[in-house]
Amino acid sequence: MRSPALANQKVLIRFDRRDIRSLQVQTLDGRALGAVYAPRTWQRYAHSLATRKRINRIIREGYISRRDPLGNYFNYTAAHRELPSQALSLVQLSREFGMDTDSPTVEEPMEFADEPWTTDEMSVVEALKALPDWDAGMVRKRR
């Protein structure tokens, strides 16, 4: 895929909208060039294109950091679960994060230089299991 002949050439990108951790690249005549993978911080769980767009918008707005976008987004939605839209996002995340796909996943926890992973922290999947079932009584009424 690093051929100089491919520079500035148009290619086709194929991907699954339900799991965009990897993209398949091919030439316009159909010759496969290989797969392109998302950065490691996005590899932990399967997630849709819509979820990625939502996360990037919240990052741009400054509500969460880029260090662990999937984990931070889960924490953000869990903290705002009394809002119907965020409660719905939690349901969607639980479906997406639990999705079994052929895409590679990162099995070991990620470590960052200034914030090392600790084993006593709950994973996103464990945190999803710990959440109570959502009901209408959890929603705060707006004025």
Q: pTM value? A: 0.61
C-alpha neighbours within 13 Å on the C-beta side of residue 25? 12
Residue 2, number of CB atoms within 10 A of its CB: 7
The residue ranges of DSSP E strands in the chain, in sequence order, are 11-16, 19-27, 32-37
- Please give the angle made by the CA atoms of 75, 125 and 101, to the nearest 5 degrees: 115
Q: 2 or 47: whose pLDDT is higher?
A: 47
The pLDDT-based confidence of 138 (bands split at 50, 70, 90) is low
Which tens digit of pLDDT belongs to each residue from 28-72?
888 899 999 999 999 988 999 999 999 999 999 999 999 999 999
Looking at 4-8, 17-21, 80-84, 98-102, which range is the least confident one? 98-102
Q: Find the mean pLDDT for residues 12-39.
A: 91
How deeply is 134 buried, as exposed, middle or buried, from its count of CB atoms within 10 A (0-12, 13-18, 19+)? middle
End-to-end CA separation in angstroms for the chain: 57
